[in-house]
A and B are shown apart, each in its own frame.
Chain A
Amino acid sequence: MKWGGSMNLIRIAIFNIKKKKSAAASLAILILLASLFLNIGLNISSNVTNFYNNKVEELHGPHYIALFENNNYSPAYSDYFKQDDRVVESETEEVIFMEQADWTNSNNNSGKMQFYTIAQNMDRKSKLGGYKLTEQIDVPDDEGIYLPVSFKGFNYKLGDKLKIEYKNEEYSYTIAGFFETTVFGTRTTGMFKVYLKDKAYENLYEKVGGAKLISARMKDSTMSNFVAKDFEKATKEMITSTDSLQSVLTIDNDEFQISNVLTAQMVAKFLVIFSIIIVIISLLVVRFRIRNDVEENMINIGTLGALGFKSKEILSIYIFEFVFIALVGVIGGIACSYGIMPILSNSLTNLVGALWINRFHPIVDIETLLSILILIFVISYLCAKVINKYPPIVAFHGGIKGHNFRKNYFPLEKGIRNIHFKLSLKGFMSCLHQNIITGAIILGVTFATVFCVVLYTNFGNDYAALGRIAGVEMCSLEIETTKNAQYEKLNKEIEGMKEVRKTSNLDSAKINVDDIEIDTKISDDFSKMNTLSVYEGKFPKYKNEIVITGVLAEKLNKRIGDTVTVRSGGYSSKYIISGFIQTTANQGKASLISSDGIKVIKPGYSKRKINVYLNEGVDEQVFIKTITDKYGEPTSDNNSKYETNENDKYSRVKKKAEEKVANLLKLYNVDSVEYSLMVDGKIVVSENSNAYKIEKITDSKTEMDSSLGSIRTVISSLSKVISISTMLIIALILSLMIKAMIIKRKVEFGTYKAIGYTTRQLMIQIVLSFMPTTIIGTILGTIIGYISVNPILTAGLHSAGVSKFEASINVMALIGVVILIIVFTFLVAMFEAYKVKKISVYELLTE
């Protein structure tokens, strides 16, 4: 084909596009939507991990962190890192650690939020701080606080007044600046770090006390996990007690990376999946258009053939036409994605904790462009190939007779009387091919909508599903008793309170399973759990049973029924694997053991934690007040009453005193006692015995809201965007199909009108002819969505440690989706079919 010939073909293709402008525009919009979602999805998924890793380097952030309360820290820990060859830099800093501090911004109504908070001294200029200020204002040094940039997602602004409540004390600050960081900068770890100038830091330190933060950078960040394991192994040898490493927390680079990028990756994957659905819909539309066009323009095709055009050249016209439309759509979609990314940047910044800078991403753009264009090219070629069957003379005789019916479907002389219904069924059969495509498209968009509904109900509205995949037990409150408190008595009292629906026991400890250090949860009865669940097998009931994660099982090459060796301190025993759980924490490694089971390797174990599940409508804070009124303030809070600069010594003494008094109460079965203890002339303790039952109360629900709120916001927004897009797609497709149908059947409709059918009757005929496929497509799409949503989400979240995702699927919501789509389709079809009214019979017959 010579260039002049190609130009001629392109000219004809453009002429064809102009002839059917609105159909071309509809297809271009579909492809634009597909490209938009695909480009954004690919951009985020291919860049977010690199973005994070580059930020770690840019900000010189740590690859490993360990946080210790001062009384649990040993200088040997810091020395370890100095000696390890894999570590190029390490640092130990004094920081302030506040467990479950309550944050309130009096300048907005984001409400009270609860976080674990680390406060660091900005004036100290740590080597491995891993942060950079992005904006700041002038605020006096004693009241300025600097927050991670993700706080802007909570609507926090410079100059806002912030109140932090911790252990019955309030600390007021003014937001002086925001910073980006790769460490404790996002909600997903549940912990935030803040910076204070020296004066403010010292004021807070005086009241709260300190903790030790060890940070380390490796030659190769991928070594962080190995360094972490070796450190934990080594420190066990340094500790004399039977317990494992007494850190508040340790996190390595892999865990930081996962926690910071997981949500963004998940969102990106959903966008890509949705874009694939739209691409498939677009391909179906192209197929329909080409087949329809070949049928309608058989004479023109014959004319071209008669004029000397080869079949290949006529085929090329179709390819040029649709590739050109696709090109316009893809370029539009890519351009729109650049326009939309700045809006998404804020969300991405909030998710990752560092300023997301939008850059030109030519490789992703090319991937989007080529993948869609190639698909359109292929489908156009395959569909237009049918032209080869029709040389001119065959084409002139209308080669494809779309209505070579051998069967007169729904004969009017038989069956139900209603002629309009029968005629609509006849219309349905006469455009069966088109209706099948419409049905397939409606199936696709229904599937996408179902997906969104499931996402929204499981991630955007309620945390149960998140709890199941995170391996977390969701309850209202967690009460930790003191070591020697009468657990069973206290549990029974709390369970009997009118506000409480039920209680359960769930402790945690560190154990070693086949030489892998993991966290384990311990309970006397796992069947009482709400969200913590096994996805295969059963909970451990007997003392030789253990449940491990699927990820750990894969690593150890174990199945249900196999045994593992569990060690703690100097004890070890074999346990049979009774089931599998999953968790996104600790790289997917965790276990469950019964209370009897843990005592085999931890003889000193005693139950400590009570999960409290409150009745509907009971406020957590109000209930906490009820508990503290009855049992006194938690002992962990009581430290604050007597804080001094030498708090380490006093807290150790106080702890010992508490244990002795509690033991005394237990030993002599005394109900209550009043006492006080003086050390160095200062009263360290002065309480009654109620103060020794509860060590800590955690508002789990509020904590969960705080840490998972960002995921909820993102998923909720994503669901809305996709749902609106699916409605738009339905409207576009119906507009295209009905318009094509009216044009194709215009003589038929003209004849009906001439015979005496009214416009309304024809509209109903048109709409009813679409409804069978709409109903079938919607129902099938819902069923397929229902069946496949869990496998798809499992595959999508596998990298986060999820072995089996089990979304709770609200059947009523799905029925609602079916009804909504059917009603929406009906209304749009009626609206489009109304166009029949505007055409006069005369025009229809003489056009």
Chain B
Amino acid sequence: MNNIILKTDKLCKSFSNGGNQIHILKNMDLEITEGDFTIIMGSSGSGKSTLLYALSGMDKPSLGKVLFKETDISKLNNDKLAIFRRKNCGFVFQSIYLLDNMSILDNVLTSGLLISKNKREIISKAKKLLEQVGLNKEVWDKFPNQISGGEAQRAGIVRALINEPTIIFADEPTGALNSAASTEVLNTLTKINENKQSLVMVTHDIKTACRGNRIIYIRDGAVCGELKLPFYKDENTEFRREKIQTFLDEMGW
């Protein structure tokens, strides 16, 4: 049985809007297991991204706990959270968010050199990872606006991977990409999951959701259903799609 790396205990998140309290997450209990490719789905406004940012320490919960390997990260201050993130988490964003004033290689190194003392080692690792995701030498010195969306997002994945995080969080990583680019990115994510990298991904797209082995459906700020699947293989895509569709229909999506 795989280890639980992330756990929430009655997690709540609220926002105030003109004096009114809006409860996004309500007493959510959730566990993320090591090695899983967890997909979070829900209708628009259900709290998917809020949950993702709370789990990753990007945002602090209003109530409850987020336990990362028994450490309650909800109690950490902002600087300690930043240190927590750099050591344990990687992020892949819908809008990619590569720093547009530096090259692709520098974008990766910005993350890598934050922790690593061994500059040569990290540079070599960055280049290797970039090649692994299909970004060869010609791309390294280019700027984000000089490469395609798919290439940029794959560079974003390498940036997330460089420090060997315990878990990678992805917020609709294919949301801004065309179909071909989306497939490239999903293949990359699947590949890294095959290497036992834990992933938590938010998506509203069934095709994307097919890549996960565990689908969590949230509604009105709470988990209302979960679907377990075998790990992704190319040949069982259609089967997975049907299973997920049925699950979502049951959930009322």
Contacts and interface: CB of A to CB of B under 8 A. Distances in A.
Contacts of B106: 408, 411-413, 426
Contact of B100 (A403, A413, A423, A840): A403
A842 B53 contact: yes
A401 B141 CA distance: 18
Interface string B75-97: 00011001111110101010101
A757 B109 contact: no
B133 to A, nearest CB: 18
Interface string B107-123: 00111011100010001
Contacts of B103: 408, 411
Contact of A845 (B87, B93, B98, B114): B93
A415 to B, nearest CB: 10
B224 interface: no
Contacts of A427: 101
A411 B78 CA distance: 29
Contacts of A412: 102, 105-106, 109-110, 113
B145 interface: yes
Contacts of B119: 413, 417
Interface string B50-71: 0001000011100000000000
Contacts, number: 100
Nearest to B143: A405
Which of B84, B95, B99, B109 counts the most chain A CB atoms within 10 A?
A: B99
Which of A401, A430, A753, A760 counts the most chain B CB atoms within 10 A?
A: A753
Interface string A392-425: 0000000001011100100111000101000100
A750 interface: yes
B48 interface: no
A727 interface: no
A429 B145 contact: no
A815 to B, nearest CB: 35
Nearest to B141: A408
Contacts of B102: 408, 412, 426
B159 A755 contact: yes
Given A408-B106, A756-B85, A747 B97 contact: yes
Interface string A754-775: 1111111000000000000000
Contacts of A752: 110
B61 to A, nearest CB: 11
A748 interface: yes
Interface in A822-847: 837, 840-842, 845-846
A429 B103 CA distance: 14
A558 B66 CA distance: 92
Nearest to A405: B143
A750 B95 CA distance: 12
B110 A756 contact: no
A751 interface: yes
Interface string A738-749: 000000000110
A625 to B, nearest CB: 71
Nearest to B109: A412
B59 A755 contact: no
Interface in A316-345: none
A639 to B, nearest CB: 85
Contact of A750 (B60, B83, B97): B97
B208 to A, nearest CB: 20
Nearest to B49: A846
Given A430-B101, A759-B78, A841 B123 contact: no
A426 B113 CA distance: 15
B142 to A, nearest CB: 9
A143 to B, nearest CB: 76
Given A412-B110, A755-B86, A841-B59, A748 B99 contact: yes
A403 B145 contact: yes
A756 B160 CA distance: 11
A338 B95 CA distance: 55
A841 B50 CA distance: 12
Contacts of A758: 78-79, 82-83
Contacts of A751: 93, 97-99
Interface in A413-463: 413, 417, 419, 423, 426-427, 429-430
A755 B79 contact: no
B145 A842 contact: no
Which of A412, A430, A748 counts the most chain B CB atoms within 10 A?
A: A412
A403 B59 contact: no
A757 B86 CA distance: 7
Given A408-B103, A412-B109, A841-B59, A757 B93 contact: no
B85 A419 contact: no
Which of A750, A755, A757 counts the most chain B CB atoms within 10 A?
A: A755
Nearest to B60: A840
Contacts of B85: 754-756
Contacts of B49: 846
A837 B82 CA distance: 12
Contact of A840 (B59, B105, B123): B59
Contacts of B99: 748, 751
A757 B114 contact: yes
A756 B58 contact: no
Interface string B159-194: 100000000000000000000000000000000000
B79 A759 contact: yes
Given A419-B110, A758-B79, A840-B59, 7 more contacts: A429-B101, A754-B58, A757-B86, A759-B79, A840-B78, A845-B93, A846-B49
5 contacts: A401-B145, A423-B110, A756-B86, A840-B78, A842-B59
